[in-house]
Amino acid sequence: MKTLLQARYLFTPLETIEDAVLLIEHGLIVATGKRAEVSAPANAKIIDFGNAVLAPGLVDIHIHGGAGHDVMEGTNASLAAIERHMAGHGVTSYCPTTVTAPIDVTLRSLDALAQAINNSATPDGMRARPLGIHLEGPFLSHTKRGVHPPQLLQPASLDLFDRMWNAAGGHVNLLTIAPEIDGALDLIAAAANRNICVSLGHSDADLPRALKGIQSGARHATHTFNAMRALDHRQPGLLGAVLTDNSLTADIIADGIHVAPAVVDLFIRAKGVERAVLITDAISATGMPDGTYSLGGLEVQVHNSRCESGGRLAGSVLTLDRALRNTMDFATVSLQHAIRMATFNPARVLGIERRKGILAAGADADITVFTPDGEVMQTIVAGITS
């Protein structure tokens, strides 16, 4: 059955279409355009969203959990709860993100997540769909480890990475690594050769070492400013590269807690709306009341939207639609540009921007319907409208 969506605006998000329509069939976008250009096929279901905005489904490439569950639990029930919660906030695709844990625990989690990814093509209600796994740890700096347990951090090892890759069934598409640790440059090159996006983060690297990481194949940065050497005007470190190198994309947690609003504005000015990516770094506490929650086995206390473990920030309770609206306030960017940073840009980081994060013929029919001020009205996953 064909479905025709109508709305005041459509953000591809690279361009704006006014008085817009979008045609869906078999879970794919068939056509987009103005109402005068795209006619409704016979027997098509027509949904008119009035003054709303049609946009690509949001893509979160760094998320640990939500709705009381952690992605490393790896069960269908836990992932279903997380994915339904995300879909309620406009997210249609995501990268379940690990944290540093005992190797056997990590391997079991990766195996379970791989099975979930293999089964994600089968529709099961209104749920966000996993794209592939983001490995955050164990190849991180001790100095900038955040809450990752120091005794579980590992030197960069091709053998260990291969074990993780195999446990994940090859479904690793993002790797966060500190470029200064032993063996990092070889692992960065090996991962990049497998078309994995290598992201620099949890790092105390100086600028020369950061540049070597980029030369070895890294092309992204993880939660910019957090778990990184502070920017110094004489020794700029990794941040100097992140903010000035146009070959790097970079993401940021725009919750007003991890990074001050003025610095979010600075980040977007430096990276431009073309290379900035919004993430949540959300944990199991997202969508839940204050209390004690788990982050990959770590105990996290949550109070007034602040997540801490041992006095350190430990993820967030941010949702991606809230990050989008915060960015509009913090950096005075348009809704269209904020949407781009949460859709097309993260999809491009993963190399899937022709089918995710964009509204164009041939792309997956993953769509978020927004009010003009960025509130989620409806989420459509794989063309499913109810």
Q: What is the pLDDT of residues 191-210, one digit of tens each?
A: 999 999 999 999 999 999 99
pLDDT value at residue 125: 74
Tokens of 203: 């790092």
105 burial via Cβ count (<10 Å: 0-12, 13-18, 19+): middle
133 or 120: which leads in pLDDT:
133
Catalytic: which of 70, 204, 281, 321?
Answer: 281
CATH superfamily of 58-356: Metal-dependent hydrolases (3.20.20.140)
Calculate the average pLDDT of the chain. Answer: 96
Section 137-151 average pLDDT: 97
| Closest of 87, 176, 186, 190 to residue 134, by C-alpha | 176
Section 324-337 average pLDDT: 97
Q: Quick check: helix, strand or coil at residue 5? A: strand
**Confidence tier at 120 by pLDDT (50, 70, 90):** confident
Q: Distance between terminal CA atoms of the chain?
A: 14
The secondary structure of residue 128, as a DSSP letter, is: -
pLDDT above 90 covers what percent of the chain?
Answer: 94
CA dist list (Å): 177 to 191, 192, 262, 363, 369? 11, 12, 27, 31, 35
Residue 251 · residue 279 · CB < 8 Å = yes
Q: Which residues have C-beta within 8 Å of that of residue 77, sequence separation ≥ 6? A: none
**Confidence tier at 385 by pLDDT (50, 70, 90):** confident
Using only the alpha carbons of the chain, give its radius of gyration. Answer: 20
**Confidence tier at 267 by pLDDT (50, 70, 90):** very high
DSSP 146-162: TTS-GGG-----HHHHH
Q: Domain ranges for the chain, please list them.
A: 2-54+372-380, 58-356
CATH architecture of 2-54+372-380: Roll (2.30)
Residue 31 · residue 38 · CB < 8 Å = yes
**Confidence tier at 1 by pLDDT (50, 70, 90):** confident
Same fold: 2-54+372-380 with 58-356: no
Tokens of 76: 């269908």
Q: Count CA atoms closer than 13 A to 92's CA, side-chain side.
A: 30
Q: Which residues have C-beta within 8 Å of that of residue 172, sequence separation ≥ 6? A: 132, 133, 135, 164, 165, 194, 196
**Confidence tier at 297 by pLDDT (50, 70, 90):** confident
**Confidence tier at 41 by pLDDT (50, 70, 90):** confident
Tokens of 200: 């620099």
Tokens of 338: 């904020």
For residue 122, pLDDT beyond 70 = no
Q: How far apart are CA 322 and CA 286, in angstroms?
A: 12
Residue 164 · residue 176 · CB < 8 Å = no
pLDDT value at residue 119: 87
Q: Is 281 a catalytic residue?
A: yes
Which of 68-72, 83-87, 119-123 is least confident? 119-123
pLDDT value at residue 123: 57
80 burial via Cβ count (<10 Å: 0-12, 13-18, 19+): middle
Residue 248 · residue 280 · CB < 8 Å = no
Section 243-253 average pLDDT: 97
For residue 250, pLDDT beyond 70 = yes
